[in-house]
Amino acid sequence: MKLKEITLHHFRNYDDVNMQFSPGINVLLGNNAQGKTNMLEAIYVLALTRSHRTVNNRDLIEWQSDAAQIYGNVAKHLGDTKLEIDLGKKGKRAKVNHLEQAKLSSYVGELNVILFAPEDLSIVKGSPSVRRRFMDMEFGQMSNQYLYDNAQYRKILKQRNNYLKKLQMKEASDHLYLEVLSDQLAAYGSKIIFQRIDLLKKLEGWASNIHAEISQDKEKLQFKYVCALKKKQLTDIDNIYDGLLNLYTNNRDKEIRQGNSLYGPHRDDLQFIINKKDVSTFGSQGQQRTSALSVKLAEIDLMKEETHEYPILLLDDVLSELDDDRQTHLLKSIQDKVQTFLTTTSLSGIARELISDPKIFNIESGTVSEEK
């Protein structure tokens, strides 16, 4: 898929702007705090209906305005699709070909994006919540079922945690209702864990090959899904369901004392291993960055495999964080393969010979001009 054009009205520091893009590499050039990242954010919001930088919609609206709109025209194998996101005081609305979508989950997947920013290098060494968010955001784009199951799980998790707090405070005493919530949580949790393991296995296959190429076959990258269940319990959804339900039953008093759900996909983690050692603990900074790069590049191929369309790649000032070898590998990997949007303050530090005919946009204070 390719994003042919985008139109912004009152989004961040953009008043009214329309940009028509190259199907190859698009460079957003300008000094810091001019709006380069805001443009990538607009593309991200157009794809996922949410920002990667804030949870407050008000932050996305130009400060003098009450609402913002993002319009996009996406080219796919089956034809063009017009997308629209409206942000206002009453929340957000998403439209596909001018038809409003009743559920945001039915909208996500119309435009698939992979964002790679400097903070994504922390996917390896960051907290477990970073990796959980990574799995949920990326796998949700690849599978509407995963997106639905995760939304339901979050809803029930909130209800269960609220009830555990009531039991903790002696404001409730009905353990039968807790059992009902536990059953529902285990049902959706088992589906999420099973899908994660399946997609991670596929992602590992792509990432391992990329990592081996970058490291010149000196290193082997592997993934390990970390959870409270034993490996033999992770073979199918039914076994995972039984395992989660047993955890909730056997640890009921403990969860009531803490007023919180202590087991399930919201507590799980993903471990990256190089040559049988945990990269986050024992890996060098170079190994951590190579692992993160390998994972991000692997996402491109996995998303193509799962959705039959290549995603759009957003590179937010990430080239400045990579050394020459990793930068070269990244640019060679995306050349003539995926539509790419790249922000930078200068083209001088980029291996220009690796970028074929880029379309360059100069951005200054929310104003865009195309370089001829």
> Do the annotations mark residue 191 as ligand-binding?
no
Q: What is the mean pLDDT of the chain?
A: 92
Q: At what angle do helices 175-214 and 324-334 cross, to 10 degrees?
A: 100
- Give pTM, 2 decimals: 0.87
> Do the annotations mark residue 31 as ligand-binding?
yes
Top mean pLDDT of 75-84, 161-170, 352-361 is at 161-170
The answer, yes or no, to whether residue 372 has pLDDT greater than 90, is: no
The answer, yes or no, to whether residue 205 has pLDDT greater than 90, is: yes
SS (H, E, C) 10-39: EECCEEEEEEECCCCEEEEECCCCCCHHHH
The answer, yes or no, to whether residue 170 has pLDDT greater than 80, is: yes
85 neighbors 111 (Cβ within 8 angstroms): no
Which region among 251-260, 291-300, 325-334 has the lowest average model confidence (pLDDT)?
325-334
> Do the annotations mark residue 37 as ligand-binding?
yes
The answer, yes or no, to whether residue 117 has pLDDT greater than 90, is: no
- Across the range 291-319, mean pLDDT stands at 91
Write down the pLDDT at residue 336: 78
The answer, yes or no, to whether residue 351 has pLDDT greater than 60, is: no
pLDDT > 90 fraction of the chain, expressed in percent and rounded: 74
Write down the pLDDT at residue 349: 59
The answer, yes or no, to whether residue 42 has pLDDT greater than 60, is: yes
272 dihedral zone (left: phi>0; alpha: psi -120 to 50; beta)? beta
153 neighbors 192 (Cβ within 8 angstroms): yes
Which region among 63-77, 98-112, 239-253, 341-355 has the lowest average model confidence (pLDDT)?
341-355
> Do the annotations mark residue 150 as ligand-binding?
no
Rounded Cα distance between 272 and 145, Å, is 26
Rounded Cα distance between 38 and 29, Å, is 12
> Do the annotations mark residue 101 as ligand-binding?
no
Which residues are 210's β-sheet partners? none
> Do the annotations mark residue 13 as ligand-binding?
no
Q: At what angle do helices 175-214 and 144-168 cross, to 10 degrees?
A: 130
Which region among 155-169, 171-185, 292-306 has the lowest average model confidence (pLDDT)?
292-306
Rounded Cα distance between 369 and 372, Å, is 9
Top mean pLDDT of 36-40, 122-126, 285-289 is at 36-40
Residue at token pair 């903070």: 119
Query: CA nearest 46: which of 312, 299, 305?
Result: 312
pLDDT band at 145 (very low <50, low <70, confident <90, very high): very high
Write down the pLDDT at residue 353: 60
> Do the annotations mark residue 35 as ligand-binding?
yes
In Å, how far from its chain's centre is CA 80? 24
Tens of pLDDT, residue by residue over 64-106, are 899 999 999 999 988 999 999 999 988 899 999 999 998 888 8
Write down the pLDDT at residue 235: 93
pLDDT > 70 fraction of the chain, expressed in percent and rounded: 98
The answer, yes or no, to whether residue 261 has pLDDT greater than 80, is: yes
The answer, yes or no, to whether residue 350 has pLDDT greater than 70, is: no
Rounded Cα distance between 205 and 297, Å, is 12
Rounded Cα distance between 84 and 70, Å, is 6
> Do the annotations mark residue 26 as ligand-binding?
no
